[in-house]
């Protein structure tokens, strides 16, 4: 007898027994005889036809399929299918849990969260600084949710003020944020600027790990910030090859893809503690200062300086200092960035959780290899969950779980929900005994994304204030690597900032040009948009994996193109060729993206594509000669017209040169 799949649904509930009981005891189809089975029901229809409906659980959610036993479709089949879909949507709608309100005055973070996130509490208790780190996770999510809530209210906590203060600044540059900010600050201190770095935590402590390739890190060696020997000393691990593979069991044959091999993408695991310690040493060597465990309160922009008010978290004392320029490196929840962008800081985000662990069985995973992007199931509770796994120091591995997420007030994106997923479904991803793993430390954060249509759209600066890194939503649209994006653009960012400081071009208009905008990233951003399930919307569970397999299947056939694409170096011809091949392979792709992105973002993307095309023509006309011509004007133009020279430098830096 022929068997045909009739329906495939994801039911956003982690308890399959509740759904099975509802299916067997409450839901009543209009036709057919219902017979209970172990994991669902059978419906006996006329003419010896039968519908089999069963459920299973994966990724802390429940999936349902309906199959027809019979040679051909019967009239009642579609009616029953629609009845079931409607009943499930009404009974089990999408659910976006709120952050629990807790009081830590008389209880620990473990006691406060145990009833909400039992596995998260259990495994954080196994980590050396688990109580501190889980408190950080809660704080970070609370901060993020408040930012999103404030965005909707079109109000925000004002932290940036103006007055007419004049005087001599204490520092040339004050950095708020000691992760990505430490690298940028060290380079500017090396150039001779008087630098202060302010860090809320103990300096050198990170809640995220960083991966990069040798070719990309070479930028920091070429800039003479690090030697090759120093770089080698901060490498925790280097793997032979990286894999990208997406679940395709529910995809048609033409949308199944081979493994994408990328041996030079994110294949270097950086020991972040060693890197930041080294940055700290260099900062002090170049005369910079570090205020650690110090929280930023507010900044006041004067006529020729900016005043920064802080609080020492150890003593509770307030302290002020002044600078010619304030650099915001506080990350996604930066109140400065939210205020400067008038609450339009980010369009999307990747809530990311994970851990550094030891004890993963070598039969399960060979540490000479890494997972760059991997999914082991379809859409789960409104998210396409994606794993990353990278070798780390010794026998350690760093494992991440994340998803691409549309910023929405009803569904800001939860780190704690993701952590409960992580600790529950890790054995599904890699066979392991959770009790036998050694839990070294957690890794977590919100990695932002900004759909910048054209240069100047994204406001990352105002007078005497400039955002960098995650605070400027500097990221890669596919793998969301803020560290790699900053390093790739560091030469450009610091050289332009050096010039702006020398000629006192510290107004908002000039500073806003010191950004890592790339028109090719603006175009490829649509791919990440196509991986975000809109809030309050239900999609076929296999939809995102179908899209990912369409595109990554093409990249698997072209390893060199894949390396170029993932490292944000795609040119106009390559992009268009790949887009046409993807549309030919999967004609439904554009419709799917339209359904997920919406008409507004599709139109915005068309504007971005037009800017990408214009930039391609600029590169064709200017890239071979403009920079050489500009060098010849260096003897007179900077002194004659600093503003014009700066604008020409920005134009030159935005040209693609092979």
- 75 and 118 housed in the same domain: no
Give the tens place of pLDDT for each residue, 433-479: 999 999 999 999 888 776 666 555 667 899 999 998 877 765 555 55
Q: Locate tokens 């600084």: which residue?
A: 129
- 351 and 404 housed in the same domain: yes
Give the tens place of pLDDT for each residue, 592-610: 888 887 888 888 888 888 8
pLDDT at 1 exceeding the cut of 70? no
Residue 365 lies in a domain: yes
pLDDT at 43 exceeding the cut of 60? yes
Residue 163 lies in a domain: no
Rounded CA separation 214/56 (Å)? 44
Average pLDDT for 565-583: 87
pLDDT at 36 exceeding the cut of 60? yes
- 81 and 114 housed in the same domain: no
Does residue 567 or residue 25 have the better pLDDT? 25
Q: Which domain holds residue 370?
A: 109-152+346-449
User: Could you tell me if 481 and 211 are in contact, meaning their C-beta atoms sit under 8 angstroms apart?
Assistant: yes
Confidence band, pLDDT 50/70/90 cuts, at residue 658: very low
- 52 and 130 housed in the same domain: no
Lowest-confidence segment of 239-253, 318-332, 342-356 by average pLDDT: 342-356
Average pLDDT for 638-644: 93
Nearest to 512 by CA among 563, 449, 452: 452
Cβ-based neighbour number of residue 163 at 10 Å:
10
Rounded CA separation 580/565 (Å)? 15
User: Could you tell me if 376 and 387 are in contact, meaning their C-beta atoms sit under 8 angstroms apart?
Assistant: yes
- 131 and 46 housed in the same domain: no
How many CA atoms does the CB half-sphere of 329 hold within 13 Å?
24
Which residues pair with residue 306 across a beta bridge?
301, 323
User: Could you tell me if 401 and 353 are in contact, meaning their C-beta atoms sit under 8 angstroms apart?
Assistant: yes
pTM: 0.86
Average pLDDT for 390-399: 91
Average pLDDT for 517-537: 78
Tokens for 233, please give them.
């000393």
- 125 and 39 housed in the same domain: no
At residue 172, the 3 state secondary structure works out as strand
Domain boundary among 397, 423, 449: 449
Across the chain, how many H-helices and E-strands are there?
Answer: 21, 25
At residue 338, the 3 state secondary structure works out as helix
pLDDT at 164: 85
Mean pLDDT of the chain: 89
Which residues pair with residue 211 across a beta bridge?
269
- 50 and 122 housed in the same domain: no
The listed range with the strongest mean pLDDT (123-127, 203-207, 388-392) is 123-127
Does residue 389 or residue 72 have the better pLDDT? 389
User: Could you tell me if 196 and 307 are in contact, meaning their C-beta atoms sit under 8 angstroms apart?
Assistant: no
Confidence band, pLDDT 50/70/90 cuts, at residue 154: very low
pLDDT at 369: 93
Average pLDDT for 391-397: 90
Residue 442 lies in a domain: yes
Does residue 488 or residue 139 have the better pLDDT? 139
Domain boundary among 431, 449, 467: 449
Lowest-confidence segment of 129-138, 193-202, 419-428, 474-483 by average pLDDT: 474-483
CATH of the domain at 80: 3.30.310.50
User: Could you tell me if 141 and 442 are in contact, meaning their C-beta atoms sit under 8 angstroms apart?
Assistant: no
Residue 645 lies in a domain: no
pLDDT at 355: 96
Share of the chain above pLDDT 70, in %: 94
Give the tens place of pLDDT for each residue, 95-115: 999 999 999 999 999 999 999
- 439 and 362 housed in the same domain: yes
- Compute the radius of gyration of the chain from its Cα atoms: 26
pLDDT at 239 exceeding the cut of 80? yes
Residue 437 lies in a domain: yes
pLDDT at 510 exceeding the cut of 50? yes
Average pLDDT for 234-249: 93
Domain boundary among 433, 449, 465: 449
Residue 341 lies in a domain: no
- 86 and 33 housed in the same domain: yes
Question: Is beta strand 289-291 parallel, antiparallel or unpaired with respect to 195-198?
Answer: parallel
Q: Domain count of the chain? A: 2
Residues 6+ apart with CB under 8 A from 84: 7, 27, 29, 53, 66
Q: At what angle do helices 572-585 and 559-566 cross, to 10 degrees?
A: 110
The listed range with the strongest mean pLDDT (124-133, 204-213, 323-332, 524-533) is 124-133
User: Could you tell me if 134 and 120 are in contact, meaning their C-beta atoms sit under 8 angstroms apart?
Assistant: yes
User: Could you tell me if 481 and 266 are in contact, meaning their C-beta atoms sit under 8 angstroms apart?
Assistant: yes
pLDDT at 633 exceeding the cut of 80? yes
Residue 560 lies in a domain: no
Average pLDDT for 502-518: 88
Lowest-confidence segment of 13-22, 203-212, 605-614 by average pLDDT: 203-212
Rounded CA separation 311/293 (Å)? 9
Residue 274 lies in a domain: no
Q: Locate tokens 């519908």: which residue?
A: 51
- 353 and 441 housed in the same domain: yes
């Amino acid at each position: 007898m022929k068997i045909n799949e009739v329906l495939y649904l994801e039911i956003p509930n982690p308890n399959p027994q509740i759904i099975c009981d509802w299916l067997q005891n409450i839901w009543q189809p209009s036709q057919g005889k219902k017979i209970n089975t172990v994991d669902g029901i059978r419906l006996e229809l006329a003419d010896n036809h039968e519908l089999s409906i069963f459920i299973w659980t994966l990724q802390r959610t429940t999936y349902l399929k309906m199959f027809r036993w019979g040679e051909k479709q019967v009239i009642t089949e579609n009616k029953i299918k629609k009845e079931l879909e409607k009943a499930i949507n009404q009974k089990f709608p999408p659910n976006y849990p709120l952050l629990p309100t807790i009081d830590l005055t008389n209880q620990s973070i473990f006691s406060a969260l145990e009833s909400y996130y039992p596995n998260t509490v259990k495994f954080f208790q196994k980590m050396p600084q688990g109580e501190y780190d889980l408190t950080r996770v809660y704080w970070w999510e609370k901060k993020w949710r408040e930012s999103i809530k404030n965005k909707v209210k079109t109000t925000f906590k004002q932290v940036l003020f103006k007055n007419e203060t004049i005087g001599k600044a204490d520092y040339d540059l004050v950095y708020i944020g000691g992760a990505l900010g430490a690298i940028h600050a060290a380079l500017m201190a090396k150039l001779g600027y008087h630098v202060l770095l302010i860090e809320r935590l103990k300096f050198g402590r990170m809640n995220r790990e960083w991966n990069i390739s040798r070719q990309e890190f070479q930028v920091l060696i070429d800039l003479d910030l690090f030697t090759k020997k120093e770089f080698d000393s901060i490498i925790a691990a280097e793997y032979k090859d990286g894999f990208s593979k997406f679940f395709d069991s529910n995809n048609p044959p033409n949308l199944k893809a081979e493994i994408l091999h990328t041996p030079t993408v994110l294949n270097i695991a950086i020991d972040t503690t060693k890197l930041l310690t080294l940055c700290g040493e260099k900062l002090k060597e170049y005369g910079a200062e570090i205020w650690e465990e110090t929280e930023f309160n507010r900044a006041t922009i004067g006529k020729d300086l900016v005043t920064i008010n802080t609080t020492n978290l150890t003593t509770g004392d307030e302290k002020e200092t002044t600078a010619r320029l304030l650099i915001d490196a506080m990350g996604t929840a930066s109140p400065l960035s939210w205020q400067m962008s008038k609450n339009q800081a980010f369009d999307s985000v990747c809530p990311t959780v994970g851990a550094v662990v030891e004890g993963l069985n070598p039969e399960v995973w060979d540490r000479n290899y890494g997972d760059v992007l991997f999914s082991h199931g379809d859409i789960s509770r409104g998210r396409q969950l994606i794993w990353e796994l990278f070798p780390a120091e010794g026998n350690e591995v760093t494992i991440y779980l994340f998803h691409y997420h549309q910023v929405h007030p009803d569904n800001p994106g939860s780190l704690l929900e993701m952590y409960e997923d992580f600790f529950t479904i890790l054995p599904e991803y890699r066979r392991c005994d959770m009790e036998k793993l050694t839990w070294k430390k957690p890794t977590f954060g919100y990695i932002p994304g900004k759909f910048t249509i054209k240069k100047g759209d994204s406001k990352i600066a105002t007078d005497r204030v400039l955002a960098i890194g995650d605070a400027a939503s500097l990221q890669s649209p596919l793998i969301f690597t803020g560290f790699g994006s900053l390093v790739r653009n560091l030469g450009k960012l610091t050289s332009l900032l050096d010039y702006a400081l020398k000629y006192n071009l510290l107004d908002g208009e000039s500073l806003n040009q010191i950004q890592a905008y790339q028109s090719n990233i603006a175009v490829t951003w649509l791919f990440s948009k196509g991986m975000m399930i809109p809030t309050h919307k239900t999609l076929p569970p296999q939809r995102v994996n179908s899209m990912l397999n369409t595109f990554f299947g093409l990249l698997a056939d072209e390893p060199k193109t894949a390396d170029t694409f993932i490292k944000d170096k795609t040119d106009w011809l390559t992009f268009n060729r790949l887009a046409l091949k993807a549309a030919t392979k999967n004609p439904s792709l554009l419709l799917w993206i339209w359904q997920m992105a919406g008409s507004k973002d599709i139109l915005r993307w068309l504007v971005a594509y037009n800017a990408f095309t214009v930039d391609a023509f600029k590169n064709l006309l200017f890239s071979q000669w403009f920079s050489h011509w500009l060098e010849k004007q260096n003897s007179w133009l900077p002194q004659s017209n600093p503003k014009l020279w700066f604008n020409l430098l920005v134009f030159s830096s935005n040209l693609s040169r092979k």
